[in-house]
Amino acid sequence: MTYRNFLSLTDAGADGIAAMLADAIDRKAARKGWPKARLDVDAPLAGRVLAMVFEKNSTRTRVSFDLAIRQLGGVPIILDAGTSQLGRGESVADTARVLSGYCDAIMVRTDDHAKLLEMGHYASVPVINGLTDDSHPCQIMADLQTIVESGKSLPGLKVAWLGDGNNVLASIIEAAGLMQFDVVAACPQGFAPSDAMVAAGQGRAKVVGNAAEAVAGADIVVTDTWISMGQDHAETKLAAMWPFQVNEGLMAQAKPDAKFLHCLPAHRGEEATDAVLDGPQSLIWAEAENRLHAQKAVLRWCFGQIG
């Protein structure tokens, strides 16, 4: 069986990402208005089993991958760390080898990027990054799809990021380098992305300390929770973040046709106000739905069907 891991956007490269975006957009259009559980006409992953391993909470990733494999003709199996032997200390390497005997692909959401890499090393089936402390490439596939569907083309876009220099920003920066758009991240001191994260943007990313500077002339404005899963709810961090809140005043400083993205879940009234989240520039519901369509393309890419 041909298989490829999707541990990072770089695994797919610009050509792979472009192929996945085209596939996601086409397949979404082809089944518009259909019942959600109806199989795609070609059922290209018929008979395949996707295991999903969750060490952290999830709504979108869990539901979208579950439905994605079903629409493609396959079957999902979910393992929560708390109710599997992983939670009792069985090694990732042994789990990878066991799951490879039952399943055709493994999606992993883990608190430790090293565990994802270990799963990728020991599994003999495709392994997909469903979020780690370092990155969230599946989310960014949905974000790129949402941007393209809004009528914008990726090369040359200015994307403004506000707030925490976290895992989602890391994957946006990686995408910028691959797909030739620019990212300006406004982050408080002490919460900026690392030099290595910025370098992954191949010169397309820069960090500033001022929210207005980031959004000036921006085509896309993006933020995320100030406190990611597994992080302390440090009052000092929250206090530092308030000047980076995305509110109507800040959105007004971006381009008039700028769009707003947020991977969700949102902490309404913190990183973004209700007026922005629910406002006319917000694409957050399309972005969330696109997790399904993007994940289908990721699965097909992993099996060598596209790209």
Q: Which residue ranges are tagged as binding site?
A: 58-61, 85, 109, 136-139, 167, 224, 228-229, 263-264, 291
Q: Is 266 in the site for ligand CP (CB under 6 A)?
A: no
At 74 the three-state DSSP class reads coil
- Nearest-Å Rg of the Cα atoms of the chain is 19
Burial 181-197 (b: 16+ CB within 10 A, else e): bbbbbbbbeebbbeeeb
Compute the least distance from the CB of residue 60 to ligand CP, in Å: 4
Binding-residue pattern over the window 102 to 121 for ligand CP, x denoting contact by CB under 6 A: --------------------
Q: Which residue number, 125 or 131, has a Cβ lying nearer to ligand CP?
A: 131
Compute the least distance from the CB of residue 35 to ligand NVA, in Å: 27
Q: Which one of 150, 228, 247, 253 is in contact with ligand NVA (CB under 6 A)?
A: 228
Please work out, in degrees rounded to the nearest 5, the angle formed at the alpha carbon of residue 180 by the alpha carbons of 174 and 185: 55
Binding-residue pattern over the window 15 to 54 for ligand CP, x denoting contact by CB under 6 A: ----------------------------------------
Q: How many residues bind ligand CP (CB under 6 A)?
A: 8
State both tokens at 29.
């259009």
Q: Which residues, 6 or more positions from 302, have their beta carbon under 8 angstroms from its beta carbon? A: 3, 4, 5, 6, 105, 126, 128
Q: Is 61 in the site for ligand CP (CB under 6 A)?
A: yes
Active-site residues: which are they?
Answer: 109, 136, 139, 224, 263, 291
At 109 the three-state DSSP class reads strand
Q: Is 273 in the site for ligand NVA (CB under 6 A)?
A: no
Beta-carbon count within 10 A of 32 CB: 6
List 162's β-bridge partners, or say none: 186, 223
Task: Write out the residues near ligand CP by the rule CB under 6 A.
Answer: 58-61, 131, 139, 263-264
Task: Write out the residues near ligand NVA by the rule CB under 6 A.
Answer: 131, 166-168, 224-225, 228-229, 263
